[in-house]
Each structure stands twice: as structure tokens, then as C-alpha cells.
Amino acid sequence: MNRQQLADAHRGVRLLTGHLRGEGESLDSAISAGRYSEAEAEAMADPLVNVAIILARQLRAALDVEIGVALQRARALTKPELSEYSRLASALIATVISGEHPEPIEVGPRVVAVGAQEIAAGAAKALADHLGEHPNAVVARLRRQLQEQGEGVQLSDKDGVELQSAKYAEDSEMRQSRLDTALALVKEINNGAAVPIHNRGVDLHERNEIVGRDCYEGLSRIAVTAAALGYGVVQLVGVNNHYPAYALLRQLVETEFVLWKFGHDPSTIPGWLNSDRDERERTWKPSKIYRNADNDYRQKDYSGHCEMGGHPTPLGTLIASGERSAVAEASVLGDLIGHLRDSWGHIVSTADALDSKWIQSEPCVSIDARQRVADAHAKWSRIDKYGYSVSYFADPL
């Protein structure tokens, strides 16, 4: 489960809670208030599908049955008039659990959202019946489990994931798409962001705006570092040297931490740029950043990167030996794309904040550069199914 899927699952829990209690945020309240537009349905579909998947897997484990039987048990507790909706959602859920990339559903998000809500509610009720408790207690426990991110709240079965991921990893079109996208993002972070951000700092320096210069210069230096690390990962993958590629990827994660902090408070950038080692140890270490209560990262995400390529580990030595090289390549490039994409977002939002503060008439990161990144990412998302099959935060299963 990646970060977005986790956020969706948390919202799915809120929506399901509202449905079961008949109050609060829910699909039902949106429909009754006349707010159930296509956009609203799309925003609710993934959260409800995710929570339905998790509860279906938990029901399967509790009953010790196959997933098809668990889904039948959940469907038996759904509304008869919505049986076609729940049937479609059930098929989608089974596909995702198997680790396979689901094909687009032609009926659209309205039907998917309603069907997923029915399956989620049915699975919660079936679990409650089996455990002798109230469905609300099942959902409340799920909220706590999402914080821990154990096996019980993943979206796909590991065996199925490994089977599908191997197939997707070796697909020639998907392999090329990963490489092309990673290179496109590296190029835009360097040429479309780091260079113009640096140039804007130079302009401010010439006007004796030293603090402004430091803000842009600090952001530019971290951006160019992210681009250099990203390109290094691609070069190492190109010669099938995946273990050090993971080590560089961990370094990229550290630059992403700093970029997040810049975006969260751009006034900290001059302090970083002019810091000494002691100051960076106190303020800028990854462990300091990922423990901030309001950040987007978790220690598990960072330690996972250390496990793959930061420290000598049994898993790391397998990667170093070249075992399952196609999977290692797909994993490191897919992970790289995700971190470059997130880094780009932090860079752009921080640059925009600086442009606003220093009253710049034009954004230093151009609209064209932003569109190229969006287009490259959208094309990759359409082609590559590997990332979907192994998604577990930023780390491969």
C-alpha cells in the first residue's frame, strides 16, 4: 500500500463509518444532498474500494476460506436491489487482491462506489457476526490497524503480487516506459526547475536581496542534487547494478525529506544553506524530519530503503548478486519515478511560495515544464502496471 492508497483507506473508513452509523461523511449523505456528481463519485470510489478489499481479506482470514467464498458471504449481507453493483465491485476486489492490474470498469465510478460500499458493509457485518461484536467495532479496529500497516491491511496477496510483478517487470513496453519516464523527470527537475530557480536567485542577489537569493539558491541546490541522484540511479540500472542504485535511491529520499521541509516552511531554507554540521545534525537529519507530527513520511518508509540499499542486509545481498534482476530493475525504477514525482511537487510548490513572497511576475518553474512532467507521468501510469502490483508505500514487497 502506498501513501495515496493509505490516505484513501483512511477516508474509506470514515465513509464506511458514516454509512453504518447513518451520520457524518458518507456516500449516502452525498446522494441525499444531491452532491453525488461524477467527480464526487470518483473521489469516493477508491477509498471505498480500498476499505472493501481490506475487510474482504480479513473476512477470508477469519473464516479460513478462499476469497471467492468470503466475497459471497459479504454479498449475502448486501441490499438485494444493489446486487449487480456489488457483483461488479466483488469482481474488481478479487482482481486487486490477486495482484493483477484491474482493467477500467466501463460502468463508471458511481456504480463502483456504491458496490464497494455494499461489499465493505457486508464484510464488516460478516466479520462482526463471526467475532461476536458490532460492525462499528470492526471498522474502529481497522482504523487502528491502518496506523500499523501490517499484513492485515494490505490490498493484495503477496504470492499473487510476486507472480504478477514478475510478468509486468519483464514486459518490454513497460520496461521502456519506466526508463523514459525516469529520464524525463530527471531532465525537468534539472533543466526545468533547478536552473531557472538558481537564475532567479542570481537576479535577487544583483538587487542585494540576500535572503531571497539564499532561498532560491538553497532550493536549487537540493533540486539539482535530486536530479543528479536520479540520473545516477538510471545509469546504474543501465548496467544491471541494482544494489548501489537502491543506495542512491535512499539518498534521493533524504533530499525529498529536505524538500518537504522547505515546502512546509520556506523560511528555513537560508538556515539550511548556511548551516554547519552541528546544526544539520540537530535539525535536518532524516530521523528528525520523519518524526515531525505533520510530515508525509514514516520511519518504516525510510528504514525500508535502508534495508534495500543502505546497509548490508540479506535482502540487499540478493539484489547485489543479481537475483531476479528484471524485478529489481522494475522495482528501483518504479520507486525512483515515485520519489522524483513527489520531489518535483515539493520543488514546484516551494518555488511558487518564494515567487509570491518575493513578488515575481512570472513563475520560475514554467507552465510548459509542469505540463511536460504531468504528461510524462500520465503516459507512464497508462502503460506500466508493475507499480500497481507491488505498491507498499515506496518500498517493494
Domain end residue (candidates: 155, 174, 195) = 155
Write the single-letter amino acid at 112. Answer: V
Question: In the prediction, which pLDDT does 219 show?
Answer: 98
All cell numbers assigned to 151: 499484513
Question: What are the tens digits of pLDDT across the range 317-371?
Answer: 777 777 668 888 998 999 999 999 999 999 999 999 999 999 999 999 999 999 9
- Whether 326 maps to a domain, the answer reads yes
125 and 32, same structural domain? yes
Considering its fold, how many domains does the chain have in total? 2
Compute φ and ψ for 357, nearest 5 degrees.
Answer: -65, -40
Q: Which of 24-28, 152-156, 301-305 has the highest mean pLDDT?
A: 24-28
Q: CA distances (Å), 102 to each of 4, 5, 93, 211, in order? A: 17, 15, 9, 50
Write the single-letter amino acid at 335. Answer: D
Question: What are the tens digits of pLDDT across the range 106-150?
Answer: 778 889 999 999 999 999 999 999 999 999 999 999 999 998 877
- Please determine, for residue 397, whether its predicted confidence score (pLDDT) is greater than 50: no
- Whether 395 maps to a domain, the answer reads no
75 and 173, same structural domain? no
Average pLDDT over residues 58-80: 96
Confidence of residue 281 (pLDDT cuts 50, 70, 90): confident
190 and 109, same structural domain? no
257 and 370, same structural domain? yes
323 contacts: CB under 8 Å, gap ≥ 6: none
Cα 290–chain centre separation: 16
Which has the higher per-residue pLDDT, 378 or 303? 378
What 3-state class would DSSP assign to 75? helix
All cell numbers assigned to 1: 500500500
Contact (Cβ atoms closer than 8 angstroms) between residue 22 and residue 135: no
Domain end residue (candidates: 155, 190, 224) = 155
Question: What are the tens digits of pLDDT across the range 45-54?
Answer: 999 999 999 9
Question: In the prediction, which pLDDT does 149 show?
Answer: 75
> Residues 184, 185, 187, CA angle at the centre, nearest 5°?
65
**What interhelical angle do 325-357 and 367-383 show, nearest 10?**
160
325 and 244, same structural domain? yes
Which of the 8 DSSP states describes residue 309?
I
Confidence of residue 396 (pLDDT cuts 50, 70, 90): very low
Range of the domain at 258: 165-389
Question: What are the tens digits of pLDDT across the range 216-253?
Answer: 999 999 999 999 999 999 999 999 999 899 999 989 98
Task: For residue 370, count CB atoms less than 10 angstroms from its CB and return exposed for 0-12, middle for 13-18, buried for 19 or more.
Answer: middle
Confidence of residue 394 (pLDDT cuts 50, 70, 90): very low
380 and 238, same structural domain? yes
Contact (Cβ atoms closer than 8 angstroms) between residue 329 and residue 238: no
- Whether 256 maps to a domain, the answer reads yes
